[in-house]
A and B are shown apart, each in its own frame.
Chain A
């Protein structure tokens, strides 16, 4: 039972990759094309370092307190009540992010394949699946990633390979014909997407080998950059600057044509998108529930799954009026909102923790009155 409730480092890495790419691979090409044009691929290469830096800050913070859940480490660093307040702020952040993901999904589905279906029906399909997954057991999230992540990642490789005959490699030229600042300007949007690793930090507590999992997160960050690069270069090689396309990655699926036989493979993109969103919403909602459970010292989180998804659906419907609102939020406020919670606050916590010289290694520092292994075992009950 104890073994079953844990994640392996590989599962943590796969969950990270799928969670980030579930939305980023579809929106980032349009965002970088708008800001950096055909040099968008250079921006994506440039995000490697800041992404690794965010992973470094977050994993260092988590590894300083390996015996306590992430939300409890706030209380250890800044005190009980400020720590609880910070936990609540993080829960708010995660709820807003998750609701905006559900809203993006509904908007994408209604503009591409199900224009006549009401939002409520599409949302119900997604949220019921997420509900079943989270209510079953925490470890199921990892097992699902083990199965679906390869389909998800494989579909991007298949699209790239099938598009090779459509590539016009000269589209990428001239390289760096605009200002370097213009190229680096869109850097923050994909970096913040990579910073969503913060949601996986909540799962590190339940991992077999926290050190190894932290290492795998660095590998995951590089993997995400690689797949983003694949998608961005594909859109540039096929469409040129692709500035007027809202979802260029979806559009390249319709361009596939191998020997007039294999064509119109946009269904593969839909499969990848729905798989990615399903895992992403599950992982992020799982992090919300874990945070609630630890912050309020609850015995388990299962009974909170339904009401929390209820909130997500209500927020998803009320936060944005339309697709333009989502795009504006993603390009204007989300980068700085995300960066505050993914980098600024964790970096400050890490500095405070170093100054205080506090570290959770001794047994009296363990979470609650239980031993950490008991807590890990009871997490799935």
Chain B
């Protein structure tokens, strides 16, 4: 909230929007973690996509 008043004073709506979106994402992630709520983990998604590639390369090289 420390950042918001100068932005409102200067009527920087686009910047306010970006700020609130990032803040909401940060708060959501932190709250989900604090409350032990299972949220999609980006690492699992990355592993889901790239692990087959890694296994294929390992097979080719072995």
Contacts and interface: CB of A to CB of B under 8 A. Distances in A.
Q: Find the residue from A311, A318, A333, A340 having the highest chain B CB count within 10 A.
A: A333
A259 interface: no
Contacts of A336: 50, 53-54, 57
| Size category, B interface | 20 to 34
Given A310-B26, A315-B29, A319-B41, A303 B51 contact: no
A111 interface: no
B46 A314 contact: no
Nearest to B58: A185
Contact of A181 (B6, B22, B46, B61): B61
Given A296-B14, A297-B14, A336-B53, A314 B30 contact: yes
Interface in A291-337: 292, 296-300, 303-304, 306-308, 310-311, 313-315, 317-320, 325, 329, 332-333, 335-337
A96 interface: yes
B29 A311 contact: yes
B23 to A, nearest CB: 4
A311 B26 contact: yes
Interface in A195-230: none
A88 to B, nearest CB: 12
Contact of B43 (A308, A314, A320, A335): A320
Nearest to B20: A307
Nearest to B25: A311
A299 B53 contact: no
A337 B39 contact: no
B8 to A, nearest CB: 11
Nearest to A292: B18
A320 B46 CA distance: 13
A92 interface: yes
Q: Find the residue from A299, A300, A303, A315 having the highest chain B CB count within 10 A.
A: A303
Q: Find the residue from B22, B27, B30, B53 having the highest chain A CB count within 10 A.
A: B22
A318 B29 contact: yes
Interface of A: 92, 96, 100, 181, 184-185, 188, 292, 296-300, 303-304, 306-308, 310-311, 313-315, 317-320, 325, 329, 332-333, 335-337, 340
